Amino acid sequence: MGSAAGGHASGRGAVAERQCPNSKVIALAGNPNVGKSTVFNALTGLHQHTGNWPGKTVSTAQGRCQYDGQELTLVDLPGTYSLSAHSPEEELARNFLRSGEADAVTVVCDATCLERNLCLVLQTLELTPNVLVCVNLMDEAGKKGISVDLPELSRLLGVPVVGTSAGRREGMDELLRQMARVADGQGVSPPGRFAHAADPADKIRLAERIASAAVRYGCPDYTRLDRRLDYLFTSRATGIPVMLLLLTAVFWLTISGANVPSALLSDALFWVQDRLTALFACLSAPPWLHGALVLGAYRVLAWVVSVMLPPMAIFFPLFTLLEDFGYLPRVAFVLDHAFQKARACGKQSLTMCMGFGCNAAGVVGCRIIDSPRERLIAILTNNFVPCNGRFPTLIALITIFFAGTGEGAAQTAKAALMLMAVIVLGVFMTFQVSRLLSATILKGMPSSFALELPPYRRPRLGQVITRSLLDRTLFVLGRAVLVAAPAGLLIWLCANVTVGGVSILARCTSFLDPFARLLGLDGVILMAFILGFPANEIVLPIILMAYLSIGTLVPADDLGALRTLLTQNGWTWLTAVCTMLFSLLHWPCSTTCLTIGRETRSVKWTLVSFVVPTLAGMAACFLTASAARLLGAA
């Protein structure tokens, strides 16, 4: 196929970067969910994220490949159903195709639903004659008894047509050859061939005629299994219960599977800390330098990695399996009515699901929402679903105060169910705050949108594991690591620099204590959340450090000892509940705030995204604490 090379460029403006003057630019266009990014990956060797739900590609990706000595620059455009743009991503695709920058356009189509895809092919032919049609997912079409007469389709369209199964890398050589030919002006469509179909309705009818002539259905009821699964996943009776059951199962597997590797990783990283301590002693380094770099920066870094990596390495592959299977669009369908009631967009459920791994990733995913108003609502409320960084605190407190610290499937299942209840509360808050924003600072009517329910597909386990670990786990972990070390240094300084014989940390916790008590917390807990702004994973270690007054973070491996320590410092079940509420609802982390600023390009909306969940968290804690005190149940 030739060598693959190149870089990744993304943004709202698509400008092809030709690496050499003779390079040919090929645009990859297509409807969402046709495997366009998979084709791009197969040709360039890059690892652009792919997924089985609409709107996955929300920016442009660019890579290079070679054929017969000719360099080709491939530009993977966002998926679009039409060149009559609605969202910024569809506008980006349309503008790039109209700009004339591309020497050729490859329109990727889904062989299992070719009729719908042909409308975009006909619209593209209006803009340029240099068009190649890639009929992808031929393997899936074959399993469903669908056959596509590629020569006949090529004759009817007047352009080259290539059949591929990009997931299996079948047909890639022929596709690359035809790309090079079309980019050189060979086999192009005669100008004005479909000028008679200028009206959208005419295009739809023409697409129907072409598809009926080129597609044969060997099995008339090939969608029977899909329909049965859709009845289970999307019906009013079973849709939400199945969704909650699947999510609970994911959390149960994450909780039960992460404990042992997390402990092993913690032991290994803290063994390295001991070696660093020995090295500093050998070098006769001053104690303050050892404390700042080893007990501060490195120890926090080690804690974040050991706490974050194992759960993410389990959660992300499981979540990606559901995504690859095609379940996430069904979640959007089930929750669409609730979001419409909140005057928001049903696609917000997809971005909400992305927030479980990382709220910053969920904010970026909000680009798939067409309406600017509804996109902003989704951005401002994405923080109400707990990210991977908040799970350790939630799980630890649930286990210590409610599920029990004993080992066994019963305790793990109880913890998973209670964690599920916390998440349901977060989803409920998402609906309520979305409704409040729609009625106040973001007034407007909910927009309509077309949601494609893609066919169910058997997940490709190797690609799922590789993609979830590389594209998600290591990416999110890398961003957390960047802020963990500086945060560790700051925390150590606060805990060890004294003013009048009292550490800065102790003075701050004493100052915050009266206000924190009104929220059912104490000054230590509130200060831990403030210092945990760079990374939510370090909130619980900071609490332990402050209670023990040892000036450095400590691991919380023994949950029994942790419960004893917390109760000795005045914790009750009410303190645990209020801490969990505040952890669920409080301000976004620093990475998410920076992402919101970049996406909204507005300091005002970034501040609003910080203030709204903070007020919601404080209000929930205050009401809970006040009610418990009135009832005498604290």
Q: Is residue 103 part of a domain?
A: yes
Average pLDDT, the chain: 82
- Residue 609's pLDDT band, with cuts at 50, 70 and 90, is very high
CB of 581 within 8 A of CB of 614?
no
Name the residue with higher pLDDT: 630 or 87.
Answer: 630
DSSP output for 147-166: EE-HHHHHHHHTS-EEE-BG
Please give the pLDDT value at position 195.
Answer: 61
Please give the pLDDT value at position 529.
Answer: 93
Instruction: Mark whether 264 and 367 lie in a shared domain.
Output: yes
- pLDDT(251) > 60: yes
Instruction: Mark whether 207 and 332 lie in a shared domain.
Output: no
Rounded Cα gap, residues 598 and 601, in angstroms: 5
CB of 83 within 8 A of CB of 92?
no
Q: Which two tokens stand for residue 475?
A: 């990416």
* Range 254-262 average pLDDT: 77
Q: Is residue 453 part of a domain?
A: no
- Local structure of 29: helix, strand or coil: strand
Residue-wise pLDDT tens digits, 55-78:
555 566 788 888 888 888 898 888
CB of 451 within 8 A of CB of 336?
yes
Q: Which two tokens stand for residue 484?
A: 């963990």
Instruction: Mark whether 182 and 292 lie in a shared domain.
Output: no
Nearest to 422 by CA among 627, 276, 255: 255
CATH number at residue 176: 3.40.50.300
Please give the pLDDT value at position 555.
Answer: 60
Q: What is the DSSP letter of 10?
A: -
Instruction: Mark whether 387 and 309 lie in a shared domain.
Output: yes
Burial label for 558, CB within 10 Å (0-12, 13-18, 19+), is exposed
Contacts of 544 (CB under 8 A, 6+ apart): 553, 554, 556, 562, 565
Instruction: Mark whether 191 and 249 lie in a shared domain.
Output: no
Contacts of 428 (CB under 8 A, 6+ apart): none
Q: Is residue 210 part of a domain?
A: yes
Instruction: Mark whether 211 and 344 lie in a shared domain.
Output: no
- pLDDT(3) > 50: no
Instruction: Mark whether 157 and 274 lie in a shared domain.
Output: no
Q: What is the DSSP letter of 84?
A: S
- Residue 446's pLDDT band, with cuts at 50, 70 and 90, is low
- pLDDT(444) > 90: no
Q: How many domains does the chain have?
A: 2
- Local structure of 327: helix, strand or coil: coil
Residue-wise pLDDT tens digits, 454-502:
777 777 777 677 767 776 677 667 766 777 788 788 888 888 888 888 8
The percentage of the chain sitting over the pLDDT mark of 70, rounded to a whole number, equals 85
Q: Which two tokens stand for residue 428?
A: 């409920």
CB of 54 within 8 A of CB of 69?
no
- pLDDT(222) > 70: no
Please give the pLDDT value at position 604.
Answer: 94
DSSP output for 103-142: SEEEEEEEGGGHHHHHHHHHHHHHH-S-EEEEEE-HHHHH
Of 1-5, 174-178, 277-281, 549-553, the poorest mean pLDDT is in 1-5
Rounded Cα gap, residues 322 and 304, in angstroms: 27
Instruction: Mark whether 311 and 204 lie in a shared domain.
Output: no
Contacts of 91 (CB under 8 A, 6+ apart): 85
Q: Which residue segment(s) compose the domain that 381 sits in?
A: 239-445+458-631
The percentage of the chain sitting over the pLDDT mark of 90, rounded to a whole number, equals 23
Rounded Cα gap, residues 586 and 351, in angstroms: 19
Residue-wise pLDDT tens digits, 314-367:
877 887 788 778 887 788 788 888 888 888 887 888 788 878 777 888 888 888
- pLDDT(11) > 80: no
Nearest to 453 by CA among 597, 332, 318: 332
Report, in this order, helix, strand and coil percent for the chain, each rounded to 5: 65, 10, 30
Contacts of 604 (CB under 8 A, 6+ apart): none
Rounded Cα gap, residues 26 and 23, in angstroms: 10
Instruction: Mark whether 538 and 590 lie in a shared domain.
Output: yes
Name the residue with higher pLDDT: 38 or 455.
Answer: 38
CA 96 to chain centre: 26
Q: Is residue 226 part of a domain?
A: no
Of 61-75, 244-258, 469-483, 608-622, the poorest mean pLDDT is in 469-483
Of 413-417, 556-560, 589-593, the poorest mean pLDDT is in 556-560
Instruction: Mark whether 209 and 254 lie in a shared domain.
Output: no
CB of 350 within 8 A of CB of 365?
yes
Instruction: Mark whether 36 and 136 lie in a shared domain.
Output: yes
Name the residue with higher pLDDT: 212 or 537.
Answer: 212
Q: Is residue 452 part of a domain?
A: no
CA 520-526-528 angle, 5° bins: 135
Instruction: Mark whether 198 and 271 lie in a shared domain.
Output: no
- Give the bridge partners for 110, in sequence order: 136
Please give the pLDDT value at position 9.
Answer: 38
Please give the pLDDT value at position 41.
Answer: 86
Rounded Cα gap, residues 422 and 409, in angstroms: 20
Q: Is residue 573 part of a domain?
A: yes
Name the residue with higher pLDDT: 575 or 479.
Answer: 575
- Give the bridge partners for 148, in sequence order: 215
- pLDDT(510) > 70: yes
Residue-wise pLDDT tens digits, 190-210:
666 666 666 777 788 888 899
Residue-wise pLDDT tens digits, 88-126:
667 777 788 888 888 999 999 999 888 888 989 988 888
Nearest to 71 by CA among 43, 99, 49: 43
Name the most confidently modeled range: 128-142, 183-197, 332-346, 557-571.
Answer: 128-142
Element (H, E) at 316: helix 299-325
Residue-wise pLDDT tens digits, 155-168:
999 899 999 998 88
Residues, the chain, total? 634
Single residue among 187, 217, 247 that ends a domain in this structure: 217
DSSP output for 200-248: HHHHHHHHHHHHHHHEEES-TTTTHHHHHHHHHHHSTTTHHHHHHHHHH
Rounded Cα gap, residues 628 and 117, in angstroms: 58
Please give the pLDDT value at position 562.
Answer: 79
Q: Is residue 348 part of a domain?
A: yes
Please give the pLDDT value at position 588.
Answer: 92
Single residue among 186, 217, 248 that ends a domain in this structure: 217
CA 607 to chain centre: 22
Name the most confidently modeled range: 135-149, 510-524, 545-559.
Answer: 510-524
Q: What is the dihedral of CA 324, 330, 331, 332, to 10 degrees?
A: 110
Number of separate helices (H) and strands (E) present in the chain? 26, 11
Please give the pLDDT value at position 527.
Answer: 92
Phi, psi at residue 236, to the nearest 5°?
-65, -30
* Range 168-180 average pLDDT: 91
Q: Is residue 566 part of a domain?
A: yes
Please give the pLDDT value at position 564.
Answer: 83
